[in-house]
């Protein structure tokens, strides 16, 4: 399964890199590969969908990111189970209906464009090159 870096995902979500990084640092997002300190995180299609849905909930509805990531994770699980439209019932009795398949498709399309635009930037100290003169 392909995975993407934080910068490509941020471009695909039209979000600041810092927002994506903070979301991954402070909230449990399925589909994110974490490694040692200094190693870039990788985000698969599930993580991309969860972040996309959480971002929409936060920006469009003002839902706090902690709650948004939990709801988005449920929506992504439903989508993996075949839900094209996810219905989420709130405690107040309101029902949130989200076209998860359409959002997933649109986000993947944006990610393809973003991945082409983002070059790999090496982390850490640059390698030393010595000239033989």
**99 CB-near residues (< 8 Å, 6+ apart):** 84, 85
Cα–Cα distance, 112 to 133 (Å, whole number): 44
Q: Which two tokens stand for residue 49?
A: 């969908």
Q: What is the pLDDT of residues 71-116, one digit of tens each?
A: 999 999 888 777 788 888 888 998 989 999 999 999 988 888 777 7
Spatial contact of 40 and 122, defined as CB atoms under 8 Å apart: no
Cα–Cα distance, 121 to 119 (Å, whole number): 6
Q: Which domain holds residue 101?
A: 6-117
Is 84 a member of any domain?
A: yes
Q: Which two tokens stand for residue 66?
A: 């902690």
Task: State the pTM of this model.
Answer: 0.80
Is 128 a member of any domain?
A: no
Q: What is the pLDDT of residues 54-70, one digit of tens each?
A: 999 999 999 999 999 99
Is 83 a member of any domain?
A: yes
Calculate what percentage of the chain has a pLDDT beyond 70: 83
Is 37 a member of any domain?
A: yes
**Amino acid 4: pLDDT:** 85
Residues 76-104: b if buried by 16+ CB within 10 A, e if exposed? bebbeeebeebeeeeeeeeeeebebeebb
Is 24 a member of any domain?
A: yes
**Amino acid 31: pLDDT:** 85
Is 124 a member of any domain?
A: no
Domain tally, the chain: 1
């Amino acid at each position: 399964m392909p995975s993407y870096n934080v910068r490509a995902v941020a471009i695909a979500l039209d979000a600041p890199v810092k927002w994506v990084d903070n979301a991954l640092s402070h909230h449990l997002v399925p589909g994110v590969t974490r490694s040692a300190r200094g190693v870039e995180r990788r985000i698969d299609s599930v993580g991309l969908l969860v972040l996309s849905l959480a971002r929409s909930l936060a920006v469009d509805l003002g839902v706090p990111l902690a709650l948004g990531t939990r709801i988005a994770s449920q929506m992504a699980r439903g989508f993996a189970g075949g839900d094209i439209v996810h219905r989420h019932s709130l405690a107040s009795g309101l029902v949130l209906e989200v076209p998860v398949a359409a959002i997933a498709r649109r986000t993947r399309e944006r990610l393809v464009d973003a991945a082409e635009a983002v070059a790999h930037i090496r982390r850490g100290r640059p390698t030393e090159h010595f000239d033989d003169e």
